[in-house]
Amino acid sequence: MVDQLIRATAADGGIRVVGVTTTRLVEIARKRHELSYVATAALGRAMTAGLLLVSSMKEPQSRVNIRVKGDGPLGGLLVDAGLDGTVRGYVEKPEVELPPNADGKLDVGGAIGREGYLYIVRDMGRGYPYSSMTELVSGEIGDDLTHYLANSEQTPSALVLGVFTGADGVEAAGGLLLQVLPKAARDEGLVSLLEERLGSLTGFTPLLRAGKSLPQIFEELVGDMGLEMLPGSQMVQFSCRCTRDRMLSALRMLGIDELKDMIEVDKGAEAVCHFCNEKYRADSDQLQDLIDDLELQANQA
């Protein structure tokens, strides 16, 4: 089944509910980056969160970047998610694996580290991105983002993120975001009620693994609070914006001497996209084209 994002409201529009399944796209990220189990969980949670966060933005080109930088062995991660349903991301040390934590779960907090920062950049595509930073709470990503939403965006929110990986790859991944909107924000009881509900939900990934759909999970969560599903679902996918042309223009910026050196020493160049691990190779002829172009430009100047 394709990954999708759906929206709903509850409590007379006072609560915003967004759910997303990301099983396929996290599996694609796992394969592309050759992620360990714990790295799959960390990046999967962050990619899922990126899609949930960007879903409330209005401008069609809107994007959210999530950067997590902790003191753990994973060395940080970066996610870029768009309102168009595309998401990409990477971790610095994809091979790092850790033993399960005391609860027998993947130790994402240990891998990210509990000391560090969470950076969020919201870009509406108009050239003035809005960025903010908070300290990590646990490094588990879900807690850190809940803390961020409550403090930086002053939107009381409850967030759950889950990634379950078996021996054959990602079996279930997704997330839920419940937000109390300004019109209902004075109702403090509502926030704790939502947190309670999320806490009583017997895990999100087990429900997905058991074949429950997002509407069924919404129903279970806030079905008695005037749940109204918003029409339509949005397809979400792992997608990178890198292209061969962009890679060539990056090489071009190295300058004539460096490019000549690459021809001499390596008979070409290889560039790897951080976000999707795509490898682009330029041979000597292509590098020479860049040099010719640069020289032509220099002579014209």
Judged by the rule CB under 5 A, the positions of this chain that interact with Zn ion are 240, 242, 273, 275-276, 278
Other beta carbons within 10 Å of 268: 14
Distance CA 171, CA 193 (A): 30
3 state DSSP class of 73: coil
Query: Smallest distance from the beta carbon of 19 to Zn ion, in angstroms?
Result: 27
- 128 with 59: CB under 8 angstroms? no
* Residue 90 vs 204, nearer CB to Zn ion: 90
* Residue 173 vs 273, nearer CB to Zn ion: 273
* Residue 164 vs 275, nearer CB to Zn ion: 275
* Residue 53 vs 276, nearer CB to Zn ion: 276
Query: Smallest distance from the beta carbon of 78 to Zn ion, in angstroms?
Result: 12
Query: Looking at the chain, which runs of residues are DSSP E strands?
Result: 4-10, 15-21, 63-70, 77-82, 86-91, 116-123, 130-135, 157-166, 169-180, 228-229, 234-235, 237-238, 268-272, 279-283
List the structure tokens of 88.
Answer: 């990409």
List the structure tokens of 263.
Answer: 């021809």
Query: Smallest distance from the beta carbon of 245 to Zn ion, in angstroms?
Result: 13
- 269 with 251: CB under 8 angstroms? yes
219 phi-psi bin (left φ>0, alpha ψ -120 to 50, beta other): alpha
Query: Smallest distance from the beta carbon of 272 to Zn ion, in angstroms?
Result: 9
* Residue 105 vs 281, nearer CB to Zn ion: 281
Query: Smallest distance from the beta carbon of 46 to Zn ion, in angstroms?
Result: 17
* Residue 177 vs 236, nearer CB to Zn ion: 236
Query: Smallest distance from the beta carbon of 130 to Zn ion, in angstroms?
Result: 25
